[in-house]
Copies of this chain bind each other. A is one copy, B any other.
Amino acid sequence: MVTVTIWNEFRHEREDEDAAAVYPDGIHATIADALTDHEVRTATLDEPEHGLTEEVLEETDVLLWWGHIAHDEVADEVVDRVQERVLEGMGLLVLHSGHFSKVFKRLMGTTCNLQWREDGATERLWVVDPGHPIADGVDESIELPQTEMYGEPFDVPEPDRLVFTSWFEGGEVFRSGCCYRRGNGRIFYFRPGHETYPIYENEEIRQVLRNAVDWASPTGGSPRTFGERE
């Protein structure tokens, strides 16, 4: 069974009434409810070592990352540790505003900047790679009636595979589902999510999260041997 750790900054939900109304137990708890076929634990910013000790990461197959207003409070030492584990093979799902997390910027090497607007208008995520397992069971598009807009340009390396592209009512587009491999690790950036829109209650979004966890789970491989040779 795949072991998943859901990391959440968990500040909005404790400080903001609107967020608490949507995610009373935290975004991580709602996401955990979606991953019923996986062994799930959660970790949050204000725990010691942000809940991401070496032991926790060692036992984690796939790490999910949600952060927004406190990216800078994440200790570089923990970022190092997460990066190292991804390169060794741990999967990583970066959600929504996690695009600006230290972890994602570290692994991408770019600013990960974008355009945005808080307008609560409609988003439609189109599957542009219908053969991808992350799109399994999804219809040709997923419609979210109210979202924050993210628009291009999105300053990330060209994805290995682009699975979703979003259409926004206000006139923008965005590469919303981007697959990368770094070292042995599989990384999936998935745009949907917000602290006050109930995106992670959406059944299609939950299906994508489940698919992405399975896709990002470590697979076997060959030795990763470096250094001097005889």
Contacts and interface: CB of A to CB of B under 8 A. Distances in A.
Interface centre among A132, A138, A152 (most CB of B within 10 A): A152
Interface string A209-230: 0000000000111111111111
B127 A222 contact: yes
Contacts of A108: 109
A181 B157 contact: yes
A226 B113 contact: yes
Contact of A109 (B89, B107, B227, B229): B107
Interface string A112-131: 01111100000010111111
Nearest to A219: B133
Interface stretch (A46-54, A64-72, A168-176): A168-176
Interface stretch (A8-16, A27-35, A159-167): A159-167
Interface SS of chain A: loop
Interface centre among A128, A149, A160, A223 (most CB of B within 10 A): A128
A172 to B, nearest CB: 7
Interface stretch (A17-25, A36-44, A182-190): A182-190
B140 A223 contact: yes
Contact of A182 (B109, B113, B175): B109
A110 B175 contact: no
Nearest to A143: B171
Nearest to A175: B128
A228 B87 CA distance: 33
B152 A165 contact: yes
A138 B222 contact: yes
Interface centre among A116, A131, A223 (most CB of B within 10 A): A131
B155 A157 contact: no
Given A152-B126, A162-B158, A221-B132, A227 B173 contact: no
A2 to B, nearest CB: 15
Contacts of A167: 167-168, 171-173
Interface of A: 83, 87, 89, 106-111, 113-117, 124, 126-133, 135-140, 149, 151-155, 157-158, 160-162, 165-168, 171-173, 175, 180-185, 219-230
